[in-house]
Amino acid sequence: MLRDAALSALVAFGLFGPMIGLKTEVGVAAIELIYRPIAVLIAVAAVFFGRLALLAWKSTRPVAKAAPGRIAGGMAYVGRYLTPIVLVLTITMPFYAERYWIDLGILVLTYVMLGWGLNIVVGLAGLLDLGYVAFYAVGAYSYALIAQNFGLGFWTCLPLAGILAAFWGVLLGFPVLRLRGDYLAIVTLAFGEIIRVVILNWASLTGGPNGMSGIPRPTLFGLVFNSGGGEGSFADFFGLEPSISHRVIFLFYVILGLALLTNWVSLRLRRLPLGRAWEALREDEIACRALGIDVTVTKLTAFAIGAAFAGFAGAFFATRQAFISPESFTFIESAIVLAIVVLGGLGSQLGVALAAIVMIGGGEMFRDFQEYRMLIFGGALVVVMVVRPRGFLSGRTPSVSLGTKRKIGADLMTEGHG
Amino acid sequence: MAYVLQQLINGLTLGMIYGLIAVGYTMVYGIIGMINFAHGDVFMVGAFLSLIALTLLSGLGVTSVPLALALTLVFAAGIAALYGWTVERVAYRPLRGSFRLAPLISAIGMSIVLQNFVQVSQGARVKPMPELLPGGIPLMNSDGFAVQLSWMQIVIVIVTLALLAAFTYLVTKTPLGRAMRACEQDQKMAGLLGIDTDRTISITFVIGAALAAVAGLMFLLYYGVIDFYIGFIAGVKAFTAAVLGGIGSLPGAVLGGLAIGLIETFWSAYFSVQYKDVAAFSILVLVLIFMPTGLLGRADVEKV
Amino acid sequence: MGAPLLSVEALTMRFGGLIAVDALSFEARAGEITAVIGPNGAGKTTVFNCITGFYRPSEGVLRLTHGDAANFLLTSMPGHQITRRGKVARTFQNIRLFAGMTVLENLLVAQHNYLMPNVINGLLAVFGLGGHGRAERIAIEKAKLWMHATGLTARADDPAGSLPYGDQRRLEIARAMCTDPELLCLDEPAAGLNPRESDELSNLLVRIRDGRDVAGRSSILLIEHDMGVVMRISDHVVVLDHGRKISDGTPAEIRADPKVIAAYLGEGDEDEVAA
């Protein structure tokens, strides 16, 4: 055991020695090196003791693992009580929380919505989409462009943004959905990058790297939210003291509504033939084909519906920020949303919401350690895949039953043919 | 004409770098059938290791350029190989036989880890490096445009070709190469016949990572600037090269690399530099849709 | 003798230099069980994959004629349309169930095209439009009938992956039957079954052929190694060897054909016959 840990430490020294120990710094004349032996020592020691602890824990633990089905069952039990609590806490949030927390809540809810949207594609249909952020971008830019060029309001543009994103989903999905899973992942990634690069360089339309600003804010049945109040404003109509926090609260409920809509649609679809076909597709594509299911069309609908929700979220993002730029739509955003879906347990709605709260909310607390945050994201993806490849809250509830519905453990769910 | 020739030279040099990275993708794909998403980042780590080694050597007073290059090559390849080994050991091996998307997601996680690890440990700023081997051989001069084959390009081409020759020998003529090809055909059967598949797969990652690190050194020498983000784009392009050449095929990877290098260079020269990445990505999409077996790949018959 | 349902004409399938099926012609008639037998590697599954659209044949014509004289050229139809319009259903040698879905769900997925005639309809169902509720009730009724016929009623809500092997085989047949096929293609349905289960299977197949005590009827095309099953229930047997047809006739004729005996015994595969 000590030998193993010592070996790990040796490997760690090889890995970290040069990278951490010798930091290259752009000096006055040339590149200079900064020596950091202490940091290397700490990192190597961490690996040594970490490995030791892991081995010790493994040797004390009984070999037989707890049945995955039981974990899933336990989670379902917890979920039954947790869901309403989380929901109530969320809905009442503007009444007890400060502005900062509501802003954070809006951000988290945006990711919850994106996670639920992507969950349709990855969790239900089993299509690994690494370019999901492209549809988010399409939604955001659609809203910004339509609003600025045609003067339409947020509520008119919202469905348009979703439809446009879905349209792009179909357009991009049609040729590539025949590809095998891992090829599909790379192609969607490539598409995501293509869209971003085009936005970045088509400066006359999109403002290029400078982005677009002055995107109109949403209204409530024509009532505007502004800090000055005045004729036709929300504050004026209800006779309230004009306050910017009205808009924040309004935005909070808008995104909450959109997220819940996403949730409702995906839960509903799961129990309909379309959703069942998605899950069947995830389980075995060849069997689906043999049952006369048009595999391409079925995949395309998952892709398009997922894209539409990303489009809605994008439009919301644009109206909330009033400013968008290509920087918000990099691959790393796709990776974050994917991480949320994966950590939450592919296919689990509550899991996705909790993962978004932990990752976005938690990440936001450590904003000063931005790069460490991504380091931890990446590490978490690896660890979760290694420990519980199907995510934490995995397993599925049958969509229909004759008797009582019992949760199906993740161990039975196959994924891999075709 | 002169301009075309110069672009041709530049494109081939760039293509060599892509080819070296693509070999790693294609080998790993051939043997365990997964896209090693973190491979581009191993390349990036290799570039950083090269920068560190070169700076260290110049600080130690090593002035001979060939010696410095040789030492750097060995150092970067060695440490990057260790990275490759660790990535496989930590993120992929426990997932063998797991559900289809698991290794890919784990690989994406590993890619993020490597990227941010380098960002944290080496800083986010772009690192420039002075030109190590300035000058070159002037080839021709017409209409005031001088075509030059730089020393750097010569070094890149020679080292790449030498490595690929050695590597081809390794795969086709040695017992290790035979074991690798056996695992590619049928891992279970290879295991039954006494081949240590785990070890063979590890070695595949080690070799792929070492080649990627060499590519990283070349990239550093050629462009003179690196940052922690280069692995992503270069990785996707090299993957495109591997797919274009026919994934699983080693000569295909090099061929695909050259093709991508040429296309990118000519695209930048004649159309638009801003959209050069779009060109590469579009090729990837088009190849996968219309020619999924690539130039030299075998057709895969779907088993039902 | 029934009308020809499926006619295979000069079917050839090449993989690179290997000829898996060589100019094969035979007919499967409506209302009959047609068995395709032959030693391992004779090309039986390849024939199946051509018929069900998983492979595109190198040469040859596959023609399907329904009872209502509707005519289909299977070689020019996309895979899923062969099941949907051609009404050909199949099972797989290595069972392909949706393991994480329940028995009932498996049977409902099979009725997908009935439940969701098109995408618009499928999306309208989200808002409770398009008459989906009624279709679902009918589909569940049909699933119940097939669960009853295959003895799976008690396991309706169990995940398919947790069923014992024999149950999985029957579920795959029930699932194929839920697509309302005219032709049911079974790839070694008796493989791995014990004698009692084989008997039950034979019984089920005969009932499906005759439409007796089950929710629908279908002609059957069968690949099988279990000669007991083949000889007992087949109306017509086609024998393949090395991709070619070496014999074609009633079970009795096949049994007496020296070429068939040579193909089995000559290649040293004695246990094939014994099995």
pLDDT above 70 covers a percentage of chain A that reads 84
Q: Residues C173-220: pLDDT tens digits?
A: 999 999 888 899 999 888 888 888 889 889 899 999 888 877 788 899
Contact A272 C122 (CB under 8 A): yes
Compute the average pLDDT of residues A387-400: 67
Compute the average pLDDT of residues B29-40: 84
Q: Rounded CA gap, B43 and B18, in Å?
A: 10
Q: How confident is the model at residue A309 (pLDDT cuts 50, 70, 90)?
A: very high
Least Cα distance to C170 among C192, C187, C147 occurs for C147
Q: Rounded CA gap, A234 and A223, in Å?
A: 5
Q: Residues B221-273: pLDDT tens digits?
A: 888 888 888 888 888 888 888 888 887 778 888 889 999 999 888 888 888 77
Q: Residues C51-78: pLDDT tens digits?
A: 888 888 888 888 888 877 778 887 777 7
Residue A75 has a pLDDT of 58
Phi–psi pair at C159, nearest 5 degrees: -65, 140
Least Cα distance to A214 among A109, A314, A143 occurs for A143
Closest chain C residue by Cα to residue B298: C16
Report chain A's mean pLDDT, rounded to a whole number. 80
Q: Which of C104, C118, C157, C185 to mutate to test the interface with A (most CBs of A within 10 A)?
A: C157
Taking contacts as CB-CB distances below 8 angstroms, the residues of chain C near B304 are 45, 49, 54, 92
Residue with tokens 């009205």: A246
* Chain B neighbours, 3+ Cβ pairs < 8 A: A, C
Q: How confident is the model at residue C275 (pLDDT cuts 50, 70, 90)?
A: very low
Which H/E stretch holds residue A171? helix A154-176
Closest chain B residue by Cα to residue A19: B121
Residue B186 buriedness (CB in 10 A; 0-12 / 13-18 / 19+): exposed
Q: Diameter of chain C by CA atoms?
A: 65
Identify which of B100, B124, B285 has the shortest CB distance to residue A190: B285
Per-position DSSP letters for A336-396, written without gaps between them:
HHHHHHHHH-TT-HHHHHHHHIIIIIHHHHTGGGHHHHHHHHHHHHHHHHHH-TT-TT--B
Q: Rounded CA gap, C231 and A195, in Å?
A: 62
Residue A87 has a pLDDT of 84
Q: What single-letter DSSP state applies at residue A275?
A: H
Query: How far A211 CA lies from chain B's nearest CA (Å)?
Result: 17
pLDDT for B28 beyond 90: no
Q: How confident is the model at residue C273 (pLDDT cuts 50, 70, 90)?
A: very low
Closest chain A residue by Cα to residue B120: A371
- For chain A, how big is the Rg over CA atoms in Å? 24
Least Cα distance to C55 among C29, C107, C90 occurs for C90
Least Cα distance to B48 among B277, B234, B230 occurs for B230
Q: How confident is the model at residue B209 (pLDDT cuts 50, 70, 90)?
A: very high
Q: How confident is the model at residue A359 (pLDDT cuts 50, 70, 90)?
A: confident
Residue A134, helix vs strand vs coil: helix
Q: Number of helices (H) and strands (E), helices first, in chain A? A: 18, 4
Q: A222 or A57: which carries more pLDDT confidence?
A: A57
Per-position DSSP letters for B97-117, written without gaps between them:
TS-TTHHHHHHHHHHHHHHHH
3-state SS record for B250-271: HHHHHHHHHHHHHHHHHHHHHC
Residue B213 has a pLDDT of 92
Q: What single-letter DSSP state applies at residue A122?
A: I
Least Cα distance to A72 among A359, A415, A386, A413 occurs for A413
In sequence order, what are the beta bridge partners of C237? Answer: C35, C249
Q: How confident is the model at residue A416 (pLDDT cuts 50, 70, 90)?
A: very low
Closest chain C residue by Cα to residue A271: C126
Q: How confident is the model at residue A306 (pLDDT cuts 50, 70, 90)?
A: very high
- Residue C96: HSE in the Cβ half-sphere, 13 Å Cα cutoff: 26
Least Cα distance to A144 among A311, A305, A331, A336 occurs for A311
Q: A230 or C118: which carries more pLDDT confidence?
A: C118
Report chain B's mean pLDDT, rounded to a whole number. 83
In sequence order, what are the beta bridge partners of B262? Answer: none
Q: How confident is the model at residue A414 (pLDDT cuts 50, 70, 90)?
A: low
pLDDT for A320 beyond 60: yes
Q: Which of A283, A301, A399, A407 to mutate to test the interface with C (most CBs of C within 10 A)?
A: A283
Phi–psi pair at A363, nearest 5 degrees: -65, -35
Closest chain A residue by Cα to residue C107: A291
pLDDT for A66 beyond 60: no
Least Cα distance to B106 among B94, B116, B91 occurs for B91
Helix, strand, coil percent content, chain A, rounded in steps of 5 = 70, 5, 20
Least Cα distance to B209 among B43, B19, B29 occurs for B43
pLDDT for B274 beyond 70: yes
Q: Is B289 on the interface with C (CB under 8 A)?
A: no
- Residue A292: HSE in the Cβ half-sphere, 13 Å Cα cutoff: 29
Residue A210, helix vs strand vs coil: helix
Residue A330 buriedness (CB in 10 A; 0-12 / 13-18 / 19+): middle
Phi–psi pair at C126, nearest 5 degrees: -60, -35
Contact A175 B117 (CB under 8 A): no
What CA–CA distances, in Å, run from A317 to A198, A218, C32, C78?
Answer: 20, 11, 63, 42
Closest chain A residue by Cα to residue C186: A290
Q: Rounded CA gap, B239 and A359, in Å?
A: 30
Q: C271 or B153: which carries more pLDDT confidence?
A: B153
3-state SS record for C153-180: HHHCCCEHHHCCHHHHHHHHHHHHHCCC
Q: A105 or A206: which carries more pLDDT confidence?
A: A105
Residue A67 has a pLDDT of 47
Q: How confident is the model at residue A395 (pLDDT cuts 50, 70, 90)?
A: low
| Sign of the alpha-carbon dihedral angle for A295, A297, A301, A303 | positive
Judged by average pLDDT, the poorest of A294-303, C38-47, C138-147, C159-168 is C38-47
Phi–psi pair at A230, nearest 5 degrees: 95, 180
Query: How far B97 CA lies from chain C's nearest CA (Å)?
Result: 17
Bridge pairing between strands C236-241 and C18-29: unpaired
Residue C175 has a pLDDT of 93
Contact A389 B98 (CB under 8 A): yes
Q: Rounded CA gap, C49 and C45, in Å?
A: 6
Domain boundaries, chain B: 2-228
Taking contacts as CB-CB distances below 8 angstroms, the residues of chain A near B75 are 18
Contact A197 B277 (CB under 8 A): yes
Contact C156 A289 (CB under 8 A): no
Contact A33 B59 (CB under 8 A): yes
Query: How far B29 CA lies from chain A's nearest CA (Å)?
Result: 11
Task: Classify each residue of B14-35 as buried b or exposed e, where b means 16 or more C-beta atoms within 10 Å of its C-beta.
Answer: bbbbbbbbbbbbbbbbbbbebb
Query: How far A383 CA lies from chain C's nearest CA (Å)?
Result: 24
Q: Residues A117-171: pLDDT tens digits?
A: 999 998 888 888 888 999 999 999 999 888 888 877 888 888 899 999 999 999 8
Interface ipTM > 0.85:
yes
Residue with tokens 């000889």: C231
Taking contacts as CB-CB distances below 8 angstroms, the residues of chain C near B298 are none
Which H/E stretch holds residue A51? helix A37-60
Domain boundaries, chain A: 2-58, 101-412
Task: Classify each residue of C181-215 as buried b or exposed e, where b means 16 or more C-beta atoms within 10 Å of its C-beta.
Answer: bbbbbbbbbbbebeeebbebbbebbeebbeeeebb
In sequence order, what are the beta bridge partners of A284? Answer: A417
Contact A272 C126 (CB under 8 A): yes
Taking contacts as CB-CB distances below 8 angstroms, the residues of chain A near C53 are 289
Taking contacts as CB-CB distances below 8 angstroms, the residues of chain C near B301 are 15
Contact B304 C49 (CB under 8 A): yes
Q: How confident is the model at residue B45 (pLDDT cuts 50, 70, 90)?
A: very high
Taking contacts as CB-CB distances below 8 angstroms, the residues of chain B near A178 are 289
Bridge pairing between strands C33-37 and C236-241: parallel
Amino acid occupying residue A29: A
Identify which of A386, A413, A416 has the shortest CB distance to residue B94: A386
Per-position DSSP letters for B112-124, written without gaps between them:
HHHHHHHHHHH-S
Which H/E stretch holds residue C185? strand C183-187
Contact B112 A23 (CB under 8 A): no
A263 Cβ contact list (under 8 Å, min separation 6)? A116, A349
Q: B277 or A62: which carries more pLDDT confidence?
A: B277
Residue A133 has a pLDDT of 92
Compute the average pLDDT of residues A240-260: 83
As given in the structure block, the two tokens for residue A204 are: 């006359």
Q: A181 or B81: which carries more pLDDT confidence?
A: B81
Residue B144, helix vs strand vs coil: coil
Least Cα distance to A161 among A313, A367, A21 occurs for A313
As given in the structure block, the two tokens for residue C188 are: 């070694």
Least Cα distance to C42 among C231, C176, C241 occurs for C241
E-assigned strand segments in chain B: 127-128, 136-142, 145-150, 225-226
Compute the average pLDDT of residues C129-153: 86
Q: Rounded CA gap, A179 and A42, in Å?
A: 45
Q: Which of C49, C82, C92 to mutate to test the interface with B (most CBs of B within 10 A)?
A: C49
* Chain C neighbours, 3+ Cβ pairs < 8 A: A, B
Residue A402, helix vs strand vs coil: coil
Least Cα distance to A290 among C187, C14, B269, B283 occurs for C187
Contact B122 A390 (CB under 8 A): no
pLDDT above 90 covers a percentage of chain A that reads 15
Residue C71, helix vs strand vs coil: strand
Contact A385 B129 (CB under 8 A): no
Q: A413 or B60: which carries more pLDDT confidence?
A: B60
Residue A392 has a pLDDT of 53
Compute the average pLDDT of residues B118-124: 82
Contact B277 A179 (CB under 8 A): no
